[in-house]
Structure 1
Amino acid sequence: MKRLVAVSVIMILLLTSCTFNIGSNDPEAKNWELIVKSAEKSMVTIAIEHTNPLVSEWFKGDYSKYMKANYDIDVTIIEQSILKTMDKLVGDKAGEVTFGDIDIILIENEGFKNAYNRGLLYGPFSDKLPNVKQNLDMRSLNMTSREGIKTNGYSVPYSRSQLSFIYNQDVFYETPTNFSDLIQLIKQNKNRFTYPDPRVTKEGEAFIFSILSEYIDFEDFLLENFDRVAFGEAITPGIDRLIELKPYLFENGTKYPQTIRALDDLFINGALMMSLSMQYNYVTDKLREYEYPENASTFIIPTGVATYDEIAAIAFNSPNKSGAMVALDALLSPAMQASKYNPRVWGSLPVYDAGVVPSTSLEGFTAMRLRSTTVGFNAFMNAVMPQFSPEMRAVVLERWEKDVLSSTDE
């Protein structure tokens, strides 16, 4: 019954202008108060599939406790493949099931475009969430686009990872501040750098994405009507740069490590001066385990590094849409973004935007004590790049294999 009341309230709020006299005089604030009130003592079900087991543990632990303590909402986690979740929603849609079993869908990689185009999602809702309006840039491409289509307010980012560079300060101390300087450093230390195969590793993919991004106007290719030919032309200068770099790579660029572990081993034994990671605290963890050289540290390129956001959406037939919105707003709260940022808990970067988020929302991050071998969250926030769509990725990898991998020295 509680779920039916919550659904009724949310539909009224989204379709009409509410003038109830509760608390704030701001109509939007009043509406949100009603949404929060209607979600009390309810249950929110979240469908999760993730490659990192710490994610489910965090949702079942810190996040669920936070929701219960602050909103009296019970969180239920369903661990199943995104394919199974989508199949269930497709069946519900065909059977005209008004109230389903799932409220929130977490999407680590792909799935939004298919779900959105098939009418499996509820929205728009993102502009209703106070923490979105306060801490995120609602006009940024990572907010307005996903998988090459407009999100139209049907999703929110909740977790982020970005590329970082690992280096040995015994080899060089001053770190490059742009990719031109990085390439010059690589040329000065011939055969002491490489990147893993971008076709099979996210780190390798992220490296070439970071190089190519300087030549791309993302807005031209992320907001629907992807032009494969135009994109291919746009990335050609970046592809040429990778070809130029190839003879300076380890083994003259004839072989690329097939795993990040293989790349790491080359760094650890001194064959390489750098490694790569998508985990911001990776070096500190490796130093703690005595696996890395004692003077290993981390840097990023301030002008921008490849960025990957994970997103959350609401099922079209969520039985508790108000509870789902409250749950997602809580997920974007400073308390929860800082909680998952803790490397001992999860180690996920915040999805906040540097030009928008107030300093008060960052207090939990600044209070967290991390070693100097870890790049700070502020540096990562300032180096966010738009995320490549699957279509863009396919073209990049095809060109890399055809033009870079197959190229030979003249």
Structure 2
Amino acid sequence: MKKIIAVLISILFVVSVFSGCAGKKAKEAEKETQETVQDMGWSDIESSAKGKTVNLYMWGGSETINSYVDNTVTPRLKELYDVTINRVPISDAMEMVNKLLTEKEVGKEDGSIDVMWINGENFKICKDNGLLMGSFADRLPNYNEYVDKAASDIVYDFGEKVEGLESPWGKSQFVFVYDSAKIENPPKNLSELKEWIAQNPGKFTYPAPPDFTGSAFIRQTLIDITGGYEQYMEGMDDAQFSQKSQMAWDYLNEIKPYIWRAGATYPESSAKLDQMYSNGEVWMTMSYNPVHAANNVKAGLFPESSRSFVLEGGTLANTHYLSIPFNSKNKEAAMVLVNYMISPQAQIEKFMPENWGDGLAIDVERLSEQDREKVNSIDRGEATLSPEVLKNHRIPELPSQYVDRIEKGWNENVSKN
């Protein structure tokens, strides 16, 4: 009996050792595959992606955007490439960043995120901490064929060089929204805006930071009032910022007595400002989405007389991106998904207001004549500015390190003043 037990123990030990070695070899093979994916040909990448599931982590706060991914992109990707999307909604991009930081710290090689929707400060944190797969955008056929790689808002993401670490997915631009039944000629610049505010006391305000739209309005003011964005693109200069920002605080304090409630309080969010505009309490609102007015008119929330305008010197615009983490389990399938997201088909469908209305990440001039006609035939609503007007008035976002400084500066020099 003792001999039998000894034999069984020996067998179990051998099986255990063999299983451990097999598991180790499997992990090593997987790691090797992940490391060599960027050396594979595109047809091999597509073949390897078949049957895989991609965990797509993205902000889930918009039912319209969620529906576009679930009902338009997901079935097409499955049909064309046999790749399944598992959309994982999050409320803040820092959730993804913190997850990746933790996984890197503990050495987790089989991560839970395959593709993530990021830009700005979150991209910079990921880049600085080595949380991304590496340069991959130039490997994507659609990126090479349809993206204007020399455009400043493709080269830089909030002032940070992209260097192929993420691929553009869409574009947004800051616009003002006004009621044309009450405002015949909207202001063309900040000087005219100040004059209009003084002539129409209580009919203008902006959301308080850290609301994204309110913060963008303050950045827009800083850029416009101090002579353009170019001077800020090399990164933070403390002496320069202290001097230049005072001009912005002066402007915002000069309009303060004439804005809603004389600046004693500000709307806590862009949604609150939209509500105030909707009920006529103020005559302007603002958004980082050019089709914002049209979508709200269609929903019956804004007056049909709503229109959009941009400043003659340009308004802030940024590109939002998709990227692949360093420890994505399915890098090939992730690359196939990102490549599809910038295909003419996916981009044009996303451009349609009923699907999302998001700006094109690809260059219209690179499209076929048939696809250009599709883009030009899309009715984005009378309240939406034309793609040409928007393109001609795009200015890049400031480097991300300015955002916190501007918000703190506003609190200290305007809000508490």
- Cα gap change, 1:262/1:87 in structure 2, threshold over 3 Å: closer, same or farther? closer
Within a 5 Å distance, the mapping from 1:262-341 to structure 2 comes to 262-341=272-351
Offset of 1:216 from its aligned partner? 6.2
Larger deviation, residues 337-346 vs 131-140 = 131-140
CA RMSD of aligned residues (A): 3.3
Alignment coverage as a number of residue pairs? 387
AA of the residue aligned to 2:405: V
Higher-Rg member (1/2): 2
Q: Is the 2:207–2:270 Cα contact (8 Å) retained in structure 1?
A: no
For 1:158 and 1:105, the matched residues in 2 are separated by: 11
Identity, % of aligned positions? 24
**Partner of residue 345, structure 1:** 355
**Partner of residue 18, structure 1:** none
AA of the residue aligned to 2:397: Q
Match of 1:123 among 128, 134, 149: 134
Within a 5 Å distance, the mapping from 1:185-224 to structure 2 comes to 185-187=196-198, 189-214=199-224, 215=226, 218=229, 221-222=232-233
Q: Could you list the runs of 5+ residues in structure 2 that have no partner in the other structure?
A: 1-25
Q: Whose helix proportion is higher, 1 or 2?
A: 2
- Cα gap change, 1:89/1:269 in structure 2, threshold over 3 Å: closer, same or farther? closer
Offset of 1:223 from its aligned partner? 5.2
- Cα gap change, 1:80/1:294 in structure 2, threshold over 3 Å: closer, same or farther? closer
**Partner of residue 259, structure 2:** 249
1:230-278 deviation digits (Å, cap 9, x = unpaired): 2333333333333333334234444322333443444344443322233
- Cα gap change, 1:265/1:66 in structure 2, threshold over 3 Å: closer, same or farther? closer
2:178 aligned counterpart, secondary structure: strand
Q: Could you list the runs of 5+ residues in structure 1 that have no partner in the other structure?
A: 14-30
1:310-368 deviation digits (Å, cap 9, x = unpaired): 322111122332322221121112221222222322232223467x7557454443222
Offset of 1:121 from its aligned partner? 0.9
**Partner of residue 114, structure 1:** 125
Q: TM-score, normalised by structure 2?
A: 0.79
Q: Is the 2:109–2:327 Cα contact (8 Å) retained in structure 1?
A: yes
Within a 5 Å distance, the mapping from 1:226-237 to structure 2 comes to 226-237=236-247
Q: TM-score, normalised by structure 1?
A: 0.80
1:142 aligned counterpart, secondary structure: helix
Larger deviation, residues 268-277 vs 1-10 = 1-10
Larger deviation, residues 122-131 vs 260-269 = 260-269
- Cα gap change, 1:269/1:4 in structure 2, threshold over 3 Å: closer, same or farther? closer
**Partner of residue 391, structure 1:** 401
Q: Is the 1:6–1:322 Cα contact (8 Å) retained in structure 2?
A: no
For 1:202 and 1:262, the matched residues in 2 are separated by: 13
**Partner of residue 180, structure 2:** 169
Residue 165 of structure 2 is aligned to residue 142 of structure 1: no
AA of the residue aligned to 1:45: N
Offset of 1:62 from its aligned partner? 0.9
- Cα gap change, 1:131/1:362 in structure 2, threshold over 3 Å: closer, same or farther? farther
Residue 53 of structure 2 is aligned to residue 73 of structure 1: no
- Cα gap change, 1:325/1:233 in structure 2, threshold over 3 Å: closer, same or farther? farther
For 1:94 and 1:272, the matched residues in 2 are separated by: 50
